[in-house]
Amino acid sequence: MKDLLDLYLAFFKIGMVNFGGGYAMLPLLEEELVKKKHWTSMDELMDYFAIGQCTPGVIALNVSTFIGHKKKGTAGAIASTIGFLSAPIVIILLIASFLTNFADLPIVKNAFAGIRVCVCILIIQAILRLWKKAVVDKMALALYLVIFFLAAFSKQLPISLPAAGLVIMAGIFGIFFRREQNGTGESESKAGTGGSENKPDQGGSKTDEGESKADKGGNKPYEGNKKLSESETEKRGTEREDAGK
């Protein structure tokens, strides 16, 4: 029970100061949950954000649910999600009842013009800290650049690609590309992510089960893999076009 209250309060605090949307939450999560409480790692946060982007619902809530689940299962997920919701609900109820012209007040406008500058810097610093862990080689860098360009300038491009589609394609690309260079790539990824969580070693029996299942389902693509990898770049292009339609 105390754990659930801890989760609720931690996310209540974050919800109260989370200005500027889902990704602006990252620096706050880092400070509260990674540095202070050690409930999660930056690697995991990054994974949660990627999944939160391509599943339905508000990204910040999705990330809250993930962390709550990791800490305390279903009850934890509910506690952290409601914790994150609480402050915004109260604030909007107050504004809706008393301050109908809230957003037009000069002091509010000025304060938030200042806050946006700070949010911008917080995001940049979070990116700098995450960079080494995510962009582990040249291929990952290329992936980053392509997706960044498509996401940041989506309004200027003739076809707009949904952000969720971009993230899903990156995941699919990862599955195919990693298979192509099995030996070196695999050890690199372990070095990259193994620092904070010993993922590969945990729960050996479960892992074996998972692999055998995945192999049963994925026999065909595994056989045809070498052919696929040759036309990898072409395929990537057509996939992206399909998603655009």
Partner 1 sequence: MNMSILRLMLDFFKTGLFAVGGGLATLPFLYEMSDTHGWFSHADVADMIAISESTPGAIGINMSTYAGFKTGGIAGGILASLSLAAPSLIIILFIASFLDKFKGNKYVERAFYGLRPASIAMISAAGINVAKTSLVNVPALQEGNFAAFFSWKAILLAILLFFAQKKVKLHPVFFLAFAALIGVIFRFAE
Q: Taking a C-beta distance cutoff of 8 angstroms, is the pair 144, 127 a contact?
A: no
* Residue 49 contacts partner 1 per CB under 8 A: yes
Pick from 123, 196, 240, 244: which binds partner 1 (CB under 8 A)? 123
Q: Are 130 and 193 in contact (CB under 8 A)?
A: no
Taking CB under 8 A as the criterion, the residue among 118, 157, 159, 191 binding partner 1 is 118
Closer residue to partner 1 in complex, CB, 106/158: 106
* Segment 52 to 111, residues that bind partner 1, using CB under 8 A: 52-62, 65-66, 69-70, 74, 77-78, 81-82, 85, 87-89, 91-93, 95-97, 102-104, 106-111
Total of chain residues touching partner 1, rule CB under 8 A: 122
By CB under 8 A, what part of segment 149-208 binds partner 1? 151-152, 162-164, 166-167, 170-179, 185-186, 189, 193, 199-203, 206-207
Asked if residue 34 lies in contact with residue 41, where contact means CB atoms within 8 angstroms, the answer is yes
Residue 130 near partner 1 by CB under 8 A? yes
Element (H, E) at 52: helix 42-54
- Nearer residue to partner 1 within complex by CB, 111 or 159: 111
Identity at 139, one-letter amino acid code:
M
Of 157, 160, 214, 231, the one binding partner 1 (CB under 8 A) is 214
Residue 218 binds partner 1 (CB under 8 A): yes
**Cβ of residue 156: shortest distance to partner 1, in angstroms?**
12
Regarding 21 and contact with partner 1 (CB under 8 A), the answer is yes
Which of 125, 231 has the CB closer to partner 1?
125
Nearest Cα neighbor of 46 from 183, 243, 195, 237 is: 195
33 part of the interface to partner 1, by CB under 8 A = no
Tell me the torsion sign for CA atoms 35, 195, 141, 145: negative
Secondary structure of 106-163 in HEC code, one letter for each residue: HHHHHHHHHHHHHHHHHHHHHHHHHHHHHCCCHHHHHHHHHHHHHHHCCCCCCCCCCH
- Amino acid sitting at position 168: I
